[in-house]
Amino acid sequence: MGSGDQIGMDFDDVDLTPVETPAPPGPPEWVRWFRQMDARLTTFTTETIPGLPQPIWSEPAMDRIEAVFFDFLPDEASVTDPANADIADQFVRWTGECFVRASGWQWCTVPDARARGGLYRDFGPAVRGYDDDPDPLFIVPLLKAATHNDFGEIRYRFGG
């Protein structure tokens, strides 16, 4: 075969349909919330904080988000203020996805009040390092902690 020759490939038997990540088990509200992940993260990166460096869980993106974090969530009460529910939800999703994408963790829901953090009624977004991890990381309380220490809690969790 010469350098200009091409190899033909037959893809007739290959399913090229995009694969959607199945929602982790939980109540219907959780499944709906999880299925909206991509759309809500798109809003976060195109409307809430446009022009984020890619990937959005990278160190440059984290620097940019940290620079504006307190404009959106200046204190712990703002995380659960109904007027900020949309913005707080976007930050919950971004924070959790950072763990999923950068550390290989997985989403889960925890029905306990600490996990809901006053932001969600029927589920508590959390991430865990493996399937039977007894200590998932609750995302809403992590955001609340971040309002007390200049985003350091989130950076600390990522080893930064």
Instruction: Select from 53, 144, 34 the least CA-distant residue to 97.
Output: 34
Would you call 72 exposed, middle or buried from its count of C-beta atoms within 10 A (0-12, 13-18, 19+)? middle
Name the average pLDDT for the chain.
83
Residues 50-77 have a mean pLDDT of: 93
Q: Which residues contact 36 (CB under 8 A, 6 or more apart)?
A: none
Q: Sketch the domain layout of the chain as residue ranges.
A: 28-157
Instruction: Select from 66, 64, 57, 144 the least CA-distant residue to 94.
Output: 57
Residues 109-136 have a mean pLDDT of: 83
Instruction: Select from 139, 144, 140, 142 the least CA-distant residue to 156.
Output: 142
Res 115: pLDDT: 72
Give this prediction's pTM: 0.82
pLDDT above 50: residue 88: yes
For 30-51, the pLDDT digits (tens) are 999 999 999 999 999 999 999 9
pLDDT above 60: residue 4: no
